[in-house]
Amino acid sequence: MAEMPKLVSLQDKLKTLPYKTLAVAMSYDDRARIDHYVARTALPFIVTHDTTDQISSAFGDIQLTPTSFLIDKEGRIVQRYVGEPDMKMLEAKIRSLI
- The pLDDT of residue 64: 84
Q: What's residue 68's pLDDT?
A: 95
Q: What angle do CA 11, 72, 90 make, to 5 degrees?
A: 45
The full DSSP string for 59-86 is: TT---SSSEEEEE-TTS-EEEEEES---
Query: Which of 33, 32, 18, 16 is CA-nearest to residue 4?
Result: 33
Predicted TM-score of the model (pTM)? 0.87
Whole-number pLDDT of residue 2: 84
The 10s digit of each residue's pLDDT in 64-73 is: 889 999 999 9
Is 27 within 8 Å of 52 (Cβ atoms)? yes
pLDDT in tens, 9-66: 999 999 999 999 999 999 999 999 999 999 999 999 999 999 999 999 999 989 888 9
Q: Which CATH architecture has domain 4-14+21-97?
A: 3-Layer(aba) Sandwich (3.40)
pLDDT for residue 1 is more than 90: no
